[in-house]
């Protein structure tokens, strides 16, 4: 049983030592809580739980603390994928819910599993998700001062459970100041993908990740026999061809964990019950 989580890039808002330490401590705490949850729950349930904790922490650009779009509205996207069933569900540009990843998880039981905009919000309302504003004062100040952050903020989790099953979940609050209606990579197979061999979650510039098909490429290459590290290396070499900005975390069916970024520094933490690895 292992878990790895990410919280976007360190450079997205502040590079102070205070923020760095806060993110290190937060990620370590969430990784530990999620590993403990994994003891008695599936990888699928665990990644949803882990990402919901990340969404609840205003240090990250997902859920609470999501970026504000150019028209002054927060719209979020999230997805979850079960490696065993190879089914993915997600929400795109959903407004006024606390945990988009939990709405995405609820959609897994439906035939229509990826919903956007008002349809996603209506589904959330119908299934008991309360109306909730995720705006915090810092984001409003950034919006009003037009402090663009580069759009590199997303959170995600990948887990393997005691039965060897893999799952992944990813959530984002957008890049900030984008054109309303923009679709990020988080609720696509480019940014969130899993099967029985590997699971990968991405963060970075959504357009670059989609162009590179990053998560799907890595998982497919592991499925075809490459090691996890080699699959990452080859995919990130291709990302360089478009000067792509991305980071990714992954676990394969043997329990190997790997992470990589094209530019410094993706913030992440992993835990296997004994050892932590936390970004520096």
Three-class SS of residue 6?
A: strand
Residue 222: CB partners within 8 Å, gap ≥ 6? 197, 198, 228, 231, 250, 252
- DSSP H or E stretch at residue 2: strand 2-9
Taking alpha carbons only, the member of 61, 29, 278, 83 closest to residue 200 is 83
- DSSP H or E stretch at residue 126: helix 117-126
Instruction: Let me know: does 92 contact 174? Beta carbons within 8 Å.
Output: no
Angle CA(279)–CA(155)–CA(185) in degrees, nearest 5?
Answer: 120
* C-alpha span between 54 and 82 (Å, rounded): 19
Give the relative orientation of helices 17-38 and 43-55 as an angle to the nearest 10 degrees: 150
Torsion of CA 136, 65, 13, 216, to 10 degrees: -160
Give the DSSP letter of residue 162.
T
- Let me know if 214 is a catalytic residue: no
* C-alpha span between 244 and 262 (Å, rounded): 7
Among 154, 170, 220, 235, which one carries the catalytic annotation?
154
Instruction: Let me know: does 155 contact 171? Beta carbons within 8 Å.
Output: yes
Q: Which residues are catalytic?
A: 154
């Amino acid at each position: 049983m292992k878990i790895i989580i990410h919280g976007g890039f360190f450079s997205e808002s502040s590079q102070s030592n205070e923020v760095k330490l806060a993110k290190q401590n937060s990620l370590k705490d969430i990784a530990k809580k999620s590993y403990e949850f994994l003891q008695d729950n599936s990888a699928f349930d665990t990644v949803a739980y882990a990402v919901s904790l990340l969404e609840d922490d205003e240090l990250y650009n997902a859920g609470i603390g999501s970026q504000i779009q150019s028209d002054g509205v927060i719209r979020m996207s999230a997805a979850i994928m079960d490696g065993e069933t190879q089914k993915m569900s997600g929400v795109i540009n959903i407004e006024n819910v606390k945990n988009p990843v939990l709405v995405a998880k609820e959609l897994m039981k439906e035939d229509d599993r990826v919903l956007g905009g008002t349809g996603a919000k209506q589904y959330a309302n119908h299934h008991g998700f309360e109306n909730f504003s995720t705006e915090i004062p810092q984001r409003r100040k950034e919006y009003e001062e037009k402090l663009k952050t580069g759009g590199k903020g997303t959170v995600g989790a990948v887990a393997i459970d005691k039965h060897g099953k893999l799952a992944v979940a990813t959530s984002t609050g957008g890049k900030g100041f984008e054109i309303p209606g923009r679709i990020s990579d988080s609720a696509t197979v480019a940014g969130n993908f899993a099967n029985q061999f590997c699971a990968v979650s991405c963060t970075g510039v959504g357009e670059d990740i989609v162009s590179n098909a990053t998560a799907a490429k890595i998982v497919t290459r592991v499925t075809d026999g490459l090691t996890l590290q080699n699959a990452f290396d080859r995919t990130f070499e291709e990302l360089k061809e478009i000067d792509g900005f991305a980071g990714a975390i992954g676990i394969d069916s043997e329990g190997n964990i790997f992470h990589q970024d094209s530019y410094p520094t993706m913030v992440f933490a992993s835990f296997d019950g004994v050892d932590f690895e936390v970004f520096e």
